[in-house]
Structure 1
Amino acid sequence: MKEVVIYTDGACSGNPGPGGYGAVLMAGEHRKEISGGERETTNQRMELLAVIEALKLLKYPCKVDVYSDSAYLINCFKSRWYVNWEKNGWLNSQKQPVANRDLWEELLRYYRTHQIQFVKVKGHSGDHWNERCDQLARAAVPR
């Protein structure tokens, strides 16, 4: 399987408010940067959308390391929250509808296509690629 490294980040001006996402994909000596934004969104939606939009670019199943500073994203997969969400009809532990269900369902389709490992990075701590994704995300926030 081809190995791909993806760094992602989301940003929001107000929460909710206008937001953006950024991602850097790297495979061998190839690198691609992507970004986008929405006028009315949340930071969590942008964090998820960054990963989804990056994974959409993969043409066939790959081994993927996704680096993110989003505890929301990382904890979902490390603690396997999605297993209970699906089992309980997309209700969380408080019996409330899971926020961002549409994005989680889309992300899970990619998760089941690729071999993905999620890796937590500390935000704003000097990690070059995390900082680059933050720049891309902030620049993509609609003004």
Structure 2
Amino acid sequence: MNNGIAGFQVWSDGSCLGNPGAGGYAAIAFDPDGKELAVVTGREKRSTNQRMEMVAAAEGLAQLPLGVEVTVCTDSKYVVDGMTSWIFGWKRRGWKKADGEPVKNLELWQRLDREVSNRKVKWMHVRGHVGIELNERCDKLANEQARLAKAGE
């Protein structure tokens, strides 16, 4: 399933029941021929939607070999904006925001930064909940994980 996208792909989504609340994430990785390489899911008893979105992207990238070209497709503007714009200033300022305050979710931004450092990554924002098949699949998996986290499983 290449969706008109060249190279490797990662589709990712995060979910929280409450914010903060029980969280779940999902990512699906594909090779350049559209073959599904991995489906990764997970959950946290207490998280935020933004954190789950970040974990999903990082876990998806971690499934791919170093040195590849990859497009990460996510409905999280927070992740896309963070990785295509904000991160450069944060790093210049020693991981501080423009107001001098520490970056929120620092360890996850640094993890994403490590995951992209040896890959050529393009970030693509997709609209959520509009019937895009892989986005809907990730959303369903992430929500299932959030429900399991809430149930204490």
So what's the TM-score if we normalise by structure 2?
0.87
**Shift, 1:94, TM fit:** 2.3
Q: Which runs of 5+ in 1 are unaligned?
A: none
The one of 16, 38, 56 equivalent to 2:20 is 16
Give the aligned CA root-mean-square deviation in angstroms: 1.3
| Post-superposition CA distance 1:4-41 (Å, at most 9, x none) | 11110000011111100011111124212211010011
Q: Which runs of 5+ in 2 are unaligned?
A: 1-5
Q: What is the identity percentage for the equivalent residue pairs of Structure 1 and Structure 2?
A: 35
> Given residue 11 of structure 1, which amino acid in structure 2 is its aligned partner?
S
1:108 aligns with 2:113: yes
How many Å separate the matches in 2 of 1:36 and 1:60?
A: 23
How many Å separate the matches in 1 of 2:119 and 2:65?
A: 11
Partner of 1:91: 96
> Given residue 70 of structure 1, which amino acid in structure 2 is its aligned partner?
S
Partner of 2:45: 39
> Given residue 91 of structure 1, which amino acid in structure 2 is its aligned partner?
K
| Aligned residue-pair number | 141
Partner of 1:123: 128
Partner of 1:7: 11
Q: Is the 8 A contact 2:29 2:64 kept in 1?
A: no
| Post-superposition CA distance 1:90-133 (Å, at most 9, x none) | 11122211011001001101111100000010010110000000
Which stretches of structure 1, 4 residues or longer, exceed 6 Å deviation after superposition?
Answer: none
How many Å separate the matches in 2 of 1:33 and 1:9?
A: 12
How many Å separate the matches in 1 of 2:118 and 2:66?
A: 8
**Shift, 1:3, TM fit:** 2.4
Give 3-state SS (helix, strand or coil) of 2:24's partner.
Answer: strand
